[in-house]
Structure 1
Amino acid sequence: PIIVGFLKPCIYLPIHLISDYHESDMRYMLLHELQHYRHKDAIANYLMNFAGVLYWFNPFVWFALREMRNDREVACDTSVLKMLEEDDYENYGNTLINFIEKVSISPFPFAASLSGNMKQMKRRIINIASYEKPTFCKKLKGMTAFILTTVLIMGLTPFISTYAADESRYQWKSSSENISYVDFSKYFGKYEGSFVLYDLRNDVWSIHDIKHATLRVAPDSTYKIYDALFGLEEGVITPQDSFIAWNGENYPFEAWNADQTLQSAMASSVNWYFQSVDEQLGTASVYDYIKNIGYGNENMSGDFSTYWMESSLEISPVEQVELLIKLQNNRFDFAPENINAVKDAICLSSSDAGTFYGKTGTGRVDGQDVNGWFIGYIETADSTYFFSTNIGADSDATGGNATEITMSILSDMNIWK
């Protein structure tokens, strides 16, 4: 039936159904068919049947096509009524009813499609019975309503666009008075990226490329800071016992092919260690923690073993810094010993100059390193500085290169030598 409907969009009445119609009835039917012809309904029928063939499996498409056909018939009736005198409306409706009666007892296989179901016919008859030719006042009201609706939709367009962009970009709400926009392009070279620095004591932000700084991308291994914290909070690992045995599988990095603790797994960025923590936590628990701390777009729709690796979970450099501030001050309201265990795991160096905490991340797609991260914070006698560097390129955008850029900037700013 689908193919036949596609090949024969125009249905012709068998002669025995119309042979006993009155001349006025024939006039009404002719007017009806002429309106279909005038509005190119045959072409529209081709397109609708084609859509039905393509999406035969989708019940919503079939429902939409049925409603479109119903609306088409009502519109056709309205066009006919505009051409008739008011005294003819009832006769036109009776013609349709008589036609339905004849079709209902006809064995002609295609005629039924002309009449439609009872619900459709009831709608058409009600439309005919209640039809009034539009006056100038009604036309003016209709045009006014159309213009107001158009203005309303156009006015909402920026809001809709902003809402759609919420997922891909962080809508940062910060006072411009404490933000300093700096140009560190010379440090980034061939990479696109941003550098974000927050000086806690002076409450000042320094940002290179605000557009990139609010753009959300995959966190890759920087997410392990918080994944470790979730595991500690749930007791999957503890500050005293974070040991997880190697499963014997051969991994691409030699450091991964051994038993791990939180310290070693964080230092070597061992994926399987944190995947094991996730497996023991379970999807629901991880998602609850991600929402609790407000991690990026909070999207875990990707594969549970890789949702943070160039997949669904994304975060911006500005958000990375905001989360590090919360971590350092334990605004998550987690157990202090668990916060300290994570801090110890990401501590890179400690001396009289201060203590340096950091974590890298590298995103790989089709064998190429396309996303590099280095985030962390520095505690000195003068202040605590939180930083986040992200770089992107078709290749060679690694956490190591992001680290080199960060260290050069921090050195030239006399924050860390």
Structure 2
Amino acid sequence: MVFGLRASVAGVAVTLISANQVMALTWREEPSLRPLFEKAGVDGTFVLLDERDRAWRGTNRQRAEQRFSPASTFKIPNSLIALSLGVVANVDQLIPYTGDPNPFMREWLEPMGMRGAIRVSNVPLYQELARRIGLARMQAAIQRLHYGNEQIGSNVTTFWLRGPLAISAIEQTQFLAGLAKRTLPFPAAAQQQVAEITRIDGGPGWSLHAKTGWQNAPGAGVGWWVGWVKRGDQVYPFALNIAMRGSADAPKREQLGRESLRALKIIPKPNR
């Protein structure tokens, strides 16, 4: 389990505090990454937690340490909390649509389980899960996870979209490291189910788990792509965020994330 982060933009070393060790990690600026963001024409950061090298490897450290609304990347902990508390029996239990009759995406109107909902980023379904969890239990779970600033305010259906919850890219990698290794303080079976529904790609010896987020969609805001790569017995949690001007920048989240993972030789190049 990852308990906390101590970091300073001016300093060299940051500290990862785990259940059984205190590991000093350094920031390693990767020169191959910045040109990717410049070519895409966006301001952003990418960070990879490489525990073997005891380093965070990435670009734009100052932004990597800055907290933003998690937006739909919060569907990952929301899924874990809902499963752990038994508000849903499993990721395939159908949940009726309870949102606006004219939603942002028409796919949201159909009853679906979390497996389908996380793929289409069904905001109303996850708001329904949050209502079932309730404010007190949600607050306790967020504190138990030490997720970002741990602040959810008084509205259980909007705190990850409009604030006050906020998290940095570095903190995202800490949370995801625990989930990838099934060491968070929640049932291992629930963590396994969340890992299954976030798997989006893979091949011989590796798998990619990821989720997008877009604060203030469909307008200008912060775009996320976070997750981890499992390669053999190693896990590589990562987080990307960019300053998005609108819908034209939406595809750049995953595109830049995959390009960054390839540049760091974490995932293979696609077959032509």
Q: 2:71 aligns with which of 220, 236, 243?
A: 220
Q: Which moved more, 1:293-302 or 1:233-242?
A: 233-242
Letter in 2 for 1:194: T
Maintained 8 Å contact 2:24/2:54 = no
Q: 2:89 aligns with which of 228, 238, 260?
A: 238
Q: 1:325 aligns with which of 177, 193, 201?
A: 177
Maintained 8 Å contact 1:370/1:396 = no
Alignment of 1:280 onto 2:138: no
In 2, the alpha carbon distance for the partners of 1:303 and 1:359 equals 23
Shift of 1:219: 0.3
Structure 2 residues without counterparts, runs of 5 or longer: 8-13, 16-22
Shift of 1:387: 0.8
Shift of 1:395: 3.4
The aligned residue for residue 168 of structure 2 is 316
The aligned residue for residue 262 of structure 1 is 114
The aligned residue for residue 405 of structure 1 is 256
Letter in 2 for 1:186: P
Q: 1:179 aligns with which of 6, 9, 27?
A: 27
In 2, the alpha carbon distance for the partners of 1:191 and 1:232 equals 36
- Counterpart mapping for 1:64-213 below 5 A: 171-172=6-7, 173-174=14-15, 178-183=26-31, 184-189=33-38, 190-213=41-64
Shift of 1:349: 1.8
In 2, the alpha carbon distance for the partners of 1:397 and 1:245 equals 31
Shift of 1:200: 3.4
In 2, the alpha carbon distance for the partners of 1:219 and 1:383 equals 25
Structure 1 residues without counterparts, runs of 5 or longer: 1-169
Maintained 8 Å contact 1:232/1:238 = yes
The aligned residue for residue 241 of structure 2 is 390
In 2, the alpha carbon distance for the partners of 1:222 and 1:177 equals 24
Q: Which has the higher contact order (CA 8 A, sep 6+)?
A: 2
The aligned residue for residue 187 of structure 2 is 335
SS at match of 2:67: coil
SS at match of 1:308: helix
The aligned residue for residue 162 of structure 1 is none
The aligned residue for residue 229 of structure 1 is 80
Identity %: 24
Q: 1:380 aligns with which of 220, 223, 231?
A: 231
Deviations 1:227-273 (A, max 9, x none): 11111111011226532022473312121111111100010010011
In 2, the alpha carbon distance for the partners of 1:397 and 1:388 equals 20
Deviations 1:110-144 (A, max 9, x none): xxxxxxxxxxxxxxxxxxxxxxxxxxxxxxxxxxx
Q: Alpha carbons of 1:363 and 1:383: their partners in 2 closer, same or farther (altered >3 Å)?
A: same
Number of residue equivalences: 247
Alignment of 1:357 onto 2:209: yes
Q: 2:144 aligns with which of 288, 292, 301?
A: 292
In 1, the alpha carbon distance for the partners of 2:115 and 2:91 equals 11
In 2, the alpha carbon distance for the partners of 1:294 and 1:411 equals 30
Maintained 8 Å contact 1:221/1:362 = yes
> What TM-score do you get using the length of structure 2 for normalisation?
0.83
Write 1 or 2 for the structure with the bigger share of strand.
2
Write 1 or 2 for the structure with the bigger share of helix.
1
Q: Which moved more, 1:200-209 or 1:312-321?
A: 200-209
Letter in 1 for 2:191: I
SS at match of 1:368: coil
Give the aligned CA root-mean-square deviation in angstroms.
2.1
4+ residue stretches of structure 1 with deviation over 6 A? Answer: none
In 1, the alpha carbon distance for the partners of 2:248 and 2:137 equals 32
In 2, the alpha carbon distance for the partners of 1:171 and 1:193 equals 22
